[in-house]
Amino acid sequence: MTETYEADVVVLGTGPAGMAAVSAAAAEGAQVVAVEAMDHIGGNAVWSTGYLAFVNSGMQAEQGIVDSEETFVADARHMVDLARDQFGIEWDEALVRLYARESAETYRILTERGVRFSRFIPRPKQHSVDRMAAVEDTWMIGRAFQPDFERDNVTTLYRTLADRLVVTDGRVTGVLAHRSDDPDATIEIAARNGVVLATGGYQSNPELRRRYQPEFVARAPYLGVDSCRGAGHLMGQAVGGDLINMTFVPPLVIVSSSVVEDAIAVNESGERFHDEAGPYEERVEKLHAQPGRRAWYVVDSVVAKEKDGLIGQMPEPAVQADTLDGLAATIGVPAEALRATVDRWNAFLDTGADVDPDHGRVVLPPNRRKCATGPFTAVPMIEGVNFCCGGFRTTTDMQVVDVFGAPVPGLFAGGDCVGGLNPVSDLGGIHICGGLTLGRIAGRAVARGVDDRSDHGSVMHAGMPSMLDTRIALVHLEPAVENHAAGNVP
């Protein structure tokens, strides 16, 4: 038997972008149907470390931090320029500026709904001013939007997977879906105004990643929920959506940033070898430089107990020993060197200095707590992926643009289904806040019936001057032809 639903707005996915889209559309009075693969809202955000970057936020104002749209755009442009040698990148400066203008409103909404931020996380190599804030408890983000899903004008279909978009007379008018426990039963959802793609990225789909990455990279470990399979990307692509930045799946060392705050990393010599909380690409480079690419994060029992869930999510199991000497024996590093490394780190924390003199680290443990209480834990450092940056070109109302530069009627996107903002995500704090910020704009636009018909440009017929001059080529060919005709060429 076919289930049927009808709404003004259909939102696929309830991670940061989906939650914000549902909230904004429902606040406009629209009837909303949300489709969620898991049994709760929040997506990857509620399982994450919970860093969000806001521009001109109330938190910055309280601490006297001066920020601006131009400062943020300059920081973003710098990150894009650094990545151009590794990936083909198309960033959308208009979306980056939109994020800069609207993220402070995201901060206001979150804090009014009870989300608390403990502190700024300094990342001077990425953010030139402090703007990346740490959530006290990431599940606060999901709880902040739960009341929206309990409104009379919102219906949520949990454990439901979207299969394809319905197109009528060139317009996206609905979705076909199925329950995860009943794949043969079709669910038809009609969308009077439109559909928002907010299904997350494609990190957990190695077959899709293999289309854009070498196979050994595409099958690298992934940290996050397993519902990020690129469903929105494939459905939108099927109706003409223009995907960009799909090869931009940056490698990183798989570890929660919350664990990194308290950890030091040691190599086979038992010594630190980099800024553990530095830029993601630098962490990977430094790991590659170690013999056998072998290294470990080391924490004490206080951190291991507090962050047991995050440590348990890492690709390889942790090992533990009562003493540092015992831990050194377990992982095969010199005991004297490991003790000296930990002692030096703890001595630095005692100094009160802001910058680690050995590797320039500025992200320090909360309250400068030391690695001092046994038993001690070590977790192998493993390269994998956490984020992907590919998604659709969109307008600034988040309407998906097709391969010819025309907005697709009735189709919108948010979060990791959007390709124009995520190339700047190595700044840190962009994925969650970008989802919440641009998702809100998408939900509001669909509820209001936005239907952009303008031309947004295309790569169709783009080209460069040829290096081959046809006339010269023919001149070079003529002697060979004459020789062949005279029988001089076999």
449, 71 contact by CB (below 8 A): no
Residue 480 lies in a domain: no
Q: Of 384, 400, 430, which marks where a domain is finished? A: 384
Q: Are residues 221 and 236 in the same domain?
A: yes
The one-letter code for the residue type at 327 is L
Q: Are residues 203 and 341 in the same domain?
A: no
> How far, CA to CA in Å, does 43 sit from each of 15, 204, 225?
4, 13, 7
pLDDT tens string 287-343 = 999 999 999 999 999 999 999 988 998 999 999 999 999 999 999 999 999 999 999
Q: Are residues 228 and 347 in the same domain?
A: no
Predicted local distance difference test score (pLDDT) of residue 329: 98
Place of tokens 């938190």: 59
Predicted local distance difference test score (pLDDT) of residue 216: 80
Calpha distance 411→22 (Å, rounded): 15
Residue 355 lies in a domain: yes
Residue range of the domain that includes 25: 3-250+387-447
Residue 116 lies in a domain: yes
Q: Of 334, 366, 384, which marks where a domain is finished? A: 384
Number of separate domains in the chain = 2
Query: 89: Cβ–Cβ under 8 A, 6 or more apart, which residues?
Result: 80, 83, 245, 248, 423
Q: Are residues 41 and 176 in the same domain?
A: yes
Q: Tell how strand 264-267 and strand 295-299 pair up.
A: antiparallel
Residue 481 lies in a domain: no
Answer left, alpha or beta for residue 411, where phi above 0 means left and psi between -120 and 50 means alpha: beta
Q: Are residues 264 and 235 in the same domain?
A: no
pLDDT tens string 121-161 = 999 999 999 999 999 999 999 999 999 999 999 999 999 99
Query: Could you tell me the pLDDT band of residue 481, with boundaries at 50, 70 and 90?
Result: very low
Predicted local distance difference test score (pLDDT) of residue 48: 86
Is the entire prediction scored with pTM above 0.75?
yes
For residue 432, pLDDT over 60 is answered with yes
Residue 487 lies in a domain: no
Q: Are residues 303 and 235 in the same domain?
A: no
Place of tokens 């806040």: 433
Residue 111 lies in a domain: yes
Q: Are residues 183 and 154 in the same domain?
A: yes
250, 426 contact by CB (below 8 A): yes
CATH code (residue 411)? 3.50.50.60
| Cα first-last separation, the chain | 74
User: What is the SS3 assignment for 188?
Assistant: strand
Q: Of 329, 360, 384, which marks where a domain is finished? A: 384
Q: Are residues 264 and 116 in the same domain?
A: no
Residue 9 lies in a domain: yes
Q: Are residues 179 and 116 in the same domain?
A: yes
188, 3 contact by CB (below 8 A): yes
Predicted local distance difference test score (pLDDT) of residue 225: 87
Residue 460 lies in a domain: no
Query: Could you tell me the pLDDT band of residue 469, with boundaries at 50, 70 and 90?
Result: low
Q: Are residues 357 and 432 in the same domain?
A: no
Q: Are residues 215 and 267 in the same domain?
A: no
Q: Are residues 242 and 349 in the same domain?
A: no
